[in-house]
Homo-oligomer: A and B are copies of this chain.
Amino acid sequence: MDFKNWYEIKLKKIEEYLETYLPCCENRQKKIYESMRYSLNAGGKRIRPILMMAVFEIFRSYDEDSIMPFACALEMIHTYSLIHDDLPAMDDDDYRRGKLTNHKVYGEAMAILAGDGLLNKSVETVLQNRSLTGLSPEVILRCLEILMASSGTEGMIGGQVVDMFVEERSLEYLEYMHRLKTGALIRAACQIGATAGGASEEETYKITQYSDYLGLAFQIKDDILDVTAQESDLGKPTGSDEKNDKLTYVALLGLKESESLLQRYTGQAIESIKYLGDKSQRLVEIAEYLLERKK
């Protein structure tokens, strides 16, 4: 199957499961479900669950649905982080993926609660669906531990703090920030896929290396797109990093050097998983897809 078809099949599965795990609700707090669903169903590349599924498939292609609670939990965490990042007290953004941001539609109070609700729901999703995964309780706990470490103060949240209160404009500082802010969830996607799939220690090590290069490449591409993309592709205003005087690869290295670093990290990501031979096909394709993307 070619990559485009494969990706679309996975994407469809993710959307279906997200709908199952977070359906409409008709009780007195239904408004928060509406708000959470508004952001969760706003599309996006779903790259984190896609990565997790691709890694899991290498080892356990016969029961790919087992990984869906974790894949969706990760996407919920990513989504909550966007809702909170967009708040007036944070980045104060009005648009995301071509739609109004959560607080612009539901108000700030509800956006704060919807973010909290999605983080909470991510863990609930894993716990409530754990018996369907066929994974042992201990493996579930290990995967959950990877997930929560990656989203916490030594992961994504920590990266957000470092980004908000920039103390130093150096490449070393920038990469410290991105390993946490963007990198941690991408790494978790791959590590959970490997752990749940039963990968060996060496396989997990190589896949983690892949994910670390991929995470940095992903961020460089984001920084480049903020300068070069069409607003209609991006779904939000371009040039916002520069306007907000953000510390980015482009601000630090310029566009040309950022492009070449993007190429280099993508190559290193692919190099890391050569060891897996044919089984690495989807991971290579994902790296190439992320390199070429227009949004």
Q: C-beta contact mask, A133-148 vs B, less than 8 Å → 1, else 0?
A: 0001110110011001
> Is A89's CB within 8 Å of the partner chain B?
yes
> Contact string, A213-252, partner B, CB cutoff 8 A, digits 1/0?
0000000000000000000000000000000000000000
| A 161-197 binary contact with B (CB < 8 Å = 1; else 0) | 1101101000001001000100000000000000000
Q: A87 contacts which chain B residues (CB < 8 A)?
A: 112
* Chain B residues whose C-beta falls within 8 Å of the C-beta of A153 in the assembled complex: 25, 29, 32-33, 36, 117, 120-121
Cβ-defined partner of A141 (8 Å) among B141, B145, B151: B141
Let me know if B113 and A161 touch, CB within 8 A.
Answer: yes
Whether A46 sits at the interface, judged by CB under 8 Å, is: no
Interchain CA distance A41-B15 in the complex, whole Å: 41
Closest Cβ of chain B to A123, distance in Å, is 5
Residue contact B116 to A116, C-beta cutoff 8 Å:
yes
CA distance A127 to B112 in the complex (A): 25
Within 8 Å CB of A90, what residues of B? 109, 112
A27 to B117, CA, bound (A): 28
Q: Which of A25, A28, A112, A121 has its CB near the most chain B CB atoms (within 10 A)? A: A28
Q: What is the total number of residues of chain A having a CB less than 8 Å from a CB of chain B?
A: 55
Q: Using Cβ atoms and an 8 Å threshold, which residues of chain B touch A96?
A: none
Q: How far is the CA of A292 from the CA of B109 in the complex (A)?
A: 34
**How far is the CB of A149 from the nearest CB of chain B, in Å?**
6
Chain A interface residues toward B at CB < 8 A: 25, 27-29, 31-33, 36, 80, 84, 87, 89-90, 107-110, 112-113, 115-117, 119-121, 123-124, 127-128, 130, 136-138, 140-141, 144-145, 148-149, 151-154, 157-162, 164-165, 167, 173, 176, 180
Instruction: Given A28-B162, A32-B157, A89-B107, output 10 extra A-B contacts at Cβ < 8 Å.
Output: A29-B157, A29-B158, A29-B161, A90-B112, A116-B116, A116-B119, A120-B148, A120-B157, A124-B145, A127-B145
| Nearest 6 CB-CB pairings of A with B | A137-B137, A89-B108, A29-B158, A127-B145, A120-B152, A29-B161
Between A and B, 29 residue pairs with Cβ closer than 8 Å are A28-B167, A28-B176, A29-B159, A29-B180, A31-B161, A32-B157, A32-B158, A32-B161, A36-B153, A84-B112, A87-B112, A89-B109, A110-B164, A113-B157, A113-B160, A113-B161, A113-B164, A116-B119, A116-B157, A120-B152, A121-B153, A123-B148, A124-B148, A124-B149, A124-B152, A127-B148, A130-B141, A137-B137, A137-B140
